[in-house]
Amino acid sequence: MAKLPIRRPRLITPSPRPAPAPIANQAFAEMANFLDEMGLIEATISLKDGKKSLKGKTANGEAINVIVRNDGTGFKEQTVSICRVLSISDRRIEAKRLKKEGMSQVAIAAKLGVSQKTISDDLAS
């Protein structure tokens, strides 16, 4: 019986990923510095349909909410809210107080750093 030669498996190494462009590295570093300067320990950044938002929490328990809207028609709106994180019952009381002052649900949500849906639920309870 003839012996077949033993073949060793070839190691396939994945092709290296291209290094990020220097401008991306610089942008990331600047963003990291900005978040550190704000004292954020947690943050979410989103970009959607002309709306840029940053929501975060600081080490001392404050909620930060930054919204920039640009609808492309020349109208630009910026909102910055900084508040202590409220308990659910405190948030509901504050939402109802702000609604009585005439604020819209969207404006209340931006001020308290939560979604409009959360405020709608809070006002219904």
What b/e string do you get for 36-65 counting C-beta neighbours within 10 Å, with b at 16 or more?
eeeebeebeeeeeeeeebbbbbbeeebbbb
Residue 8 lies in a domain: no
Residue 102 lies in a domain: yes
pLDDT for position 102: 95
| Sign of the four-CA dihedral 105, 118, 40, 42 | negative
Residues in the chain: 125
Average pLDDT over residues 76-98: 85
pLDDT for position 80: 78
Residue 13 lies in a domain: no
| Sign of the four-CA dihedral 81, 84, 87, 91 | negative
pLDDT for position 18: 63
**Residue-averaged pLDDT of the chain:** 79
Residue 32 lies in a domain: no
Residue 62 lies in a domain: yes
Residue 7 lies in a domain: no
Query: Read out DSSP for 18-44?
Result: PPPPHHHHHHHHHHHHHHHHHTEEEEE
pLDDT at 78 over 70: yes
Structural domain total, the chain: 1
Residue 37 lies in a domain: no
More confident residue, 10 or 87: 87
pLDDT for position 77: 77
Q: What is the pLDDT of residues 12-61, one digit of tens each?
A: 556 666 665 666 677 777 777 877 887 888 888 888 877 888 888 888 88
Bridge partners of 55, per DSSP, are: 44, 65
Q: Which domain holds residue 49?
A: 45-124
Looking at this protein, which amino acid is placed at residue 26? Q
Least confident of 22-36, 78-92, 98-112: 22-36
Kindly state the tokens that stand for 109.
């949500």
Residue 23 lies in a domain: no
pLDDT at 117 over 70: yes
